């Protein structure tokens, strides 16, 4: 779980301790079943590491700049970015967990597609007359048995299709991201937290309820974003 740490000047975080290979595989299967996987899977960390704030900021700002759908008031003081696939069950679960916080956080939802169907559905969401309502309808009517989003595809315009394809193939996705959902949260100026997986309500709640600093427990099931080439 994530614990609040009321630090005056600095934010501290640890990668989780080494996990047995079988358990690591199970975590990947549980959290990313039916969803995107990019490049290689992250390896277990060999102990505490200092946060590379430049890397975290690079990940957050580049992902935030991709075409997407915004929810929440522009006056919210909490900002998040979420990379998602409209046909991803884990993304749907994250959406459900975030529902109580939609009025407290400004969230930028960046659609990608790991199949042609999900690319087309993501494009339909971008091109909708009310994209945020379309996004909510997609997750609210999600077909768990067929693992398909609930928003009809129709015939989305080419610009929207090209945007979703570009998101999927973007350098920031290839560089940092290995699955969906992937979240980036602005904690404070120049302080960002990024991770892949479904974050439970009891962990994401303190962040969106104005706790300014957090740290990940060593056994936390998600890993902070680390530059893939380091």
CA distances from 32 to 26, 189, 211 (A): 10, 30, 28
100 vs 10 pLDDT, higher one: 100
Look at residue 38 in the predicted model and tell me its pLDDT.
Answer: 34
Handedness of CA 71, 72, 74, 76 (dihedral sign): negative
State pTM to two decimals.
0.74
Average pLDDT over residues 119-137: 97
User: Does residue 87 register a pLDDT over 90?
Assistant: yes
Look at residue 71 in the predicted model and tell me its pLDDT.
Answer: 95
Average pLDDT over residues 167-181: 92
Residue 183 three-state SS: strand
pLDDT mean across residues, the chain = 75
pLDDT bin (cut points 50, 70, 90) of residue 12 is very low
| Residues with Cβ within 8 Å of residue 50, at least 6 apart in sequence | none
User: CA 189, CA 23: separation in Å to the nearest integer?
Assistant: 36
User: CA 216, CA 15: separation in Å to the nearest integer?
Assistant: 7
Average pLDDT over residues 31-42: 37
Look at residue 146 in the predicted model and tell me its pLDDT.
Answer: 87
20-24, 63-67, 78-82, 201-205: least confidently modelled range: 20-24
Nearest Cα neighbor of 90 from 137, 28, 5 is 28
Residue 30 three-state SS: helix
Look at residue 210 in the predicted model and tell me its pLDDT.
Answer: 58
């Amino acid at each position: 779980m994530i614990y609040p740490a009321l630090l005056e000047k600095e934010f501290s975080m640890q990668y989780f301790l080494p996990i047995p290979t079988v358990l690591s595989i199970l975590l990947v299967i549980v959290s990313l079943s039916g969803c995107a996987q990019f490049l290689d899977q992250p390896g277990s960390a060999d102990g505490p590491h200092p946060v590379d704030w430049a890397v975290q900021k690079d990940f957050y700002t580049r992902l935030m700049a991709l075409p997407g759908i915004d929810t929440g008031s522009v006056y919210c003081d909490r900002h998040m970015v979420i990379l998602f696939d409209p046909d991803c069950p884990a993304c749907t679960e994250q959406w459900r967990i975030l529902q109580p916080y939609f009025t407290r956080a400004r969230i930028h939802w960046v659609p990608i597609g790991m199949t042609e169907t999900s690319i087309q559905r993501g494009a339909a969401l971008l091109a909708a007359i009310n994209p945020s309502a379309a996004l909510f309808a997609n997750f609210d009517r999600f077909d768990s048995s067929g693992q398909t989003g609930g928003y009809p595809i129709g015939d989305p315009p080419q610009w929207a299709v090209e945007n979703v394809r570009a998101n999927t193939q973007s350098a920031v996705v290839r560089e940092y991201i290995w699955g969906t959902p992937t979240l980036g949260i602005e904690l404070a100026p120049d302080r960002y937290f990024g991770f892949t997986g479904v974050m439970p309500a009891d962990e994401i709640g303190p962040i969106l309820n104005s706790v300014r600093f957090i740290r990940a427990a060593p056994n936390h099931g998600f890993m902070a974003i680390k530059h893939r080439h380091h």
